[in-house]
Structure 1
C-alpha cells in the first residue's frame, strides 16, 4: 500500500473516531455517490445527504459519550489512483459494543492535487456483530 494513502486513511479514520464533521466534509468528494442497504431497503444518496447522516451520527456519539469501533477488513488498490477500503463500524456505549455494525465498501480517488477523496460507498447496515467478527476474505 502506498505510504501517502496510508497517511490519508489514518486522517480519515481519526476524523471518524473523533466525530469531526469538518474533517469528513473535507474528505468526501462533492461528486460522492453512495448506496446503503438497511433492513432490506435500498437508499441512494450523494454528498449533502451523506454530510447530514454524518452530522446525525456524530451528534448521537457525542451526546451519548460513545466511541466508534472501526476495523479495517481489507485495502484493495483498484487502479493507480483508486483504492477500495472495506471497514466495519459500530459504537461502544457505556463500555459495551452495540449488537450490530455497518459494513462499508469505500472507494477513494486521488485527485490531480494528489489529495485523496471518498468518491463512492456501498454500505450494508445493521449486520450482527457475530457475523462481522467472522469475516474472512479469501
Structure 2
C-alpha cells in the first residue's frame, strides 16, 4: 500500500470518528474552502453547495440529532489515489437513531486532498435517501445495519 493511501486511512479513521461524535467543528475543519458538494435525491432532484453551506450543514444536522444517539456505519467500497496528493473514497453509509436503523442508504463518492497540515475534503457526490429495500440485496449483505 502506498504511503499516500496509508496516511489517508489514518485520516479516514479520524474523519469517521468525528462524524460519529457529532463533532461539527472538526467535520468543518476537514472541509476545504474550495469544497464542491452535490447531493442527488430520489425524483432526480439535486442540491449543490460549497464550503459555507457544508459547514453550517454539519452544525444543523448534528443539532437536529441531539439526544437521539445517532450512529453512522461506514461500508467502504474502495479508496484509491487519483493524483500525487489526492484520494478518492467510495463508501456506503447506513444510519441509526435511538438504536433503530433508518430505512435509507447513502452512497458517498468523496475526494480528499493531502494538505501540509491535514487532509481536506475537496469534492463530495452523494446518492441520498435510497431505500434499503430497493438497493440490490447483494450489496446490503455487506451492510451490517
Normalised to the residue count of structure 2, the TM-score between the two structures is 0.84
The alignment of Structure 1 onto Structure 2 pairs a total of residues equal to 135
Find the aligned partners of 1:68 and 1:132 in 2 and give their Cα distance.
20
Q: 2:105 aligns with which of 101, 104, 124?
A: 101
Give the aligned partner of residue 36 of structure 2: 33
TM superposition shift of 1:104 = 0.8
What SS does the aligned partner of 2:22 have?
Answer: coil
- In the TM superposition, structure 1's runs of 4+ consecutive aligned residues that sit over 6 Å from their partners are none
Give the aligned partner of residue 116 of structure 1: 119
Find the aligned partners of 1:74 and 1:94 in 2 and give their Cα distance.
29
The answer to whether structure 1 residue 23 and structure 2 residue 29 are counterparts is: no
TM superposition shift of 1:61 = 2.5
Q: Structure 1: any 5+ residue segments left out of the alignment?
A: none
Find the aligned partners of 1:8 and 1:106 in 2 and give their Cα distance.
14
Give the aligned partner of residue 3 of structure 1: 6
Normalised to the residue count of structure 1, the TM-score between the two structures is 0.87
Give the aligned partner of residue 13 of structure 1: 16
Which structure 2 residues correspond to residues 56-95 of structure 1 after superposition, within 5 A?
A: 56-95=60-99
Q: 1:53 aligns with which of 47, 53, 57?
A: 57
Find the aligned partners of 1:106 and 1:133 in 2 and give their Cα distance.
24
